[in-house]
Structure 1
C-alpha cells in the first residue's frame, strides 16, 4: 500500500473514532452503550477492509483470473455464493449426467449418426463434471432438518464420499464416450480421474486398460489390470485382457530391464570417463552440433537427406574407453568438412596418437594418387584434400593471464561450454550430444612430416605450456 493511501485511511479512521468518543461521552443508557460497542467493532472491521481494498496486490473477486487470487481476496465463499445464486449445482449435475447417458444410448442405436451422439455425450459429461465441482459437500454426520429434506427434492445434497463417487461415475462415463470415438488419450485421462476419485470403480479400471492397450503401453496396461483385479478378482473382461496381453507385457518388461541395465552401464562408464579426466586434468566441454541448412537447398536431389545428415554432425553415442589390446585411453573423434557437408569418424583415437598421422591416413601423399591427379575421394570435386594442402594449427598461450591455470579457458570454437561437474557430464552423455576434449600437456619435440606444423611448434618458447585441441571433432 502506498504511503498516501495509508495516510488517508488513518485520517478517516481517526475521525470516526473521535466522533464515537464524543457520542460515548453523551451516552445515558445501556442501549446507546451497546450501539457504541457495535460502532467500535464496525470501525475496526472497516479499517481492515479498507487496508485490503487499498493494497496494491488486491484484486477484486470479479476480476480474479486465478483461484489463488480469489482466495487471497478473502471473499471467495461470498463470491461463489453470489455467482451460483439461483443455480442448483446438484440438480444440474444429475441432469447433464442423464443427458450424457442418453447420448451414448442413442449412439448405439443409430449407427449412421452415432459419432454426433457420442460427441454430445462427451460435452454433457463435461458439464456434469463442472457442476459437480461447484457442489459444497456436507459433513459425514450431517443430519438434515425437515425443511432441508424437503429442499433436497429439488437440490440434493452430497457428502464428500458420495460426491467423489459421483465424480468417478461421471468421468468413467465420459471415458466410455471417448472410447466410442477412439480418442484414446482422452479415455486414459478421464479413466485416471475416475479411479482417482474412487479406486473401487471396476469399470474405470477396465477403461483405463483399453487405451494403454491401444497405445501399446503394455506395462501400464498390466498395472491397470492388476489394480482392477485387486478390486474384483473374477472380472471376466479384465481376465480376458490379462490373457491377451500376457506375452506382450512380458516382452515389454524384459525390454525395460535391458534398458535399465544399459543405462546403469552407461552411468558407470560416464563416471569412469569423468574420474579419468579429473586425474589427467582433461577439461570436458560441449558445443552445438547443428548448423543451418536451407530447406530449399538441393531440392529434388536424391542425396539431399544424406547431405543434411552429414551436415548436422550426428553423435555416434560412443564414449571414450581404454583399448583392450594395450590399455590406452582412446577417444571417438569426428573430422568435419563443412564446405562439403561430409565427415570422417575415428572410433578409437589413442591418447598418444598424433592428429597429423591420423589425417595422413585419411589423405595420402600426392604420389599415391592417380596419374591424372584425381583423388580417390568422391566428394572432393576440386581435388583439394591432399596432404600438401593440409595445415594443423595449435593454439598457444591460452591460459589465464596470471599463469596459474586457475581458469581453464577453452579453445575454439568459442561456443564450447565447459562441463564443471559429474552431474552435468552425465546429463550431457545421456542426451547423446557430442563432446569436445581439451588436453593440456607440456611442449615436446614432435616431428610431424607436415612442414607447416613443425614451423608452428618451432615458434613456441622453451618451457612454455600449450594446449592441444584433443577434441571430439575437428573442422577441416
Structure 2
C-alpha cells in the first residue's frame, strides 16, 4: 500500500511525553506569593516595602483635594461599621479628620487650572468633618471609650448643633458613666431639634428612670448616715448617764455584727448591752458572748458555759472560779460574779475598750498564782 506525507496527527505530542521540569511549591508558599498581590492582601502586615504596585495604590488614596481624600477614608470607615469592625472604622475616621485638617495638596505643574468654589469646598469639608466625628463617636461608644465618645460628640456639635445622632451618642455615653444630669441635658438638646425622635425619647425615659433610682439610693444613704450619727450621739449620752468609760483603739477586733447597743438606738434610757469575752488565761482559751444586757451578771453566763470541753481536770465551774477585770490604770479588780454588768462598769474604774467587755476567769485555787504572774508581766511585782 502506498504511503503519503505525514499527517497533522503525526506531529501531535504523545500523551505520555514528558512535560518540561517546573519548580514545585507547597500550598503555603503559593498563598504567600498571592498575598504579595494587593487583590489578595488580608492585612497591612503583608505589605512588602519594595512592592511598587502596592505603593502606587497607597499613593492614590491620598490623591485629590482634602475633601476627596477624607471622603475615601469615611467610606472605608462606613464599610467597617457595617461589619462592626469598630477599631478599624475608628482608625479610618481618624485618618479622614487628619486629612481635613492637613495642608491643601499643591496641584501638579502640568495640571489644568480649574476655578474652585472655595465656599462650597469649605462647606463640604465641614460636613465631612462633622460626619466623621459623629461616626467616630459611635465607634468609641461601642468600644466603651465613653470619654472619647463625648469628646467626638462635642466636636461634631460645635460644627452642627442640630446633629441629633451626636446628641444621642453623647447622652448614651453619659448614661453609661452614671452622669445622669449630663445625659438628661444631651437628650433634651437633641429633642429640641427633633422632638419626635423615638430613639431619643426612649433614651430620655431610661435616663429619667436611672436618675430617679440614683436619687433614691442617695436619699437612703443620707438617711442611714444621719441615723448612725444620731445613734452614736444617743449611745454617748447613755454612757455618760451610767458613768461608763469607753475608748476605741486604732486596731479594734473584728466582732462581725456584735456591738454595744441600746434596745432602742434613739432612746438613751433603754437597755444597754455589750459583747463580752470570757478569758481563761491559765489555759489560753476564751468564750465570746455576743450580747450581755446591763442588768445581767457574769454568773448567769457562766452557768451555761461551764464546764468547758477542754477542761479535762474539771477546774472550772460557776462555783469554783473567780472573775477579774482590768482597770483603766492597768491594775486588776475582783469582779463580783453576781453583780450586774452595769454596777461593774459604772464603778468608774473599768474602761470598755473597743466596745468589748473583758472578764478573766480563773480557778480560785490558782488565783494567787495568776495574779502574781499578771503583776510580773505588768512590771508591778
If the length of structure 1 is used for normalisation, what is the TM-score?
0.38
Structure with larger Rg: 2
If the length of structure 2 is used for normalisation, what is the TM-score?
0.45
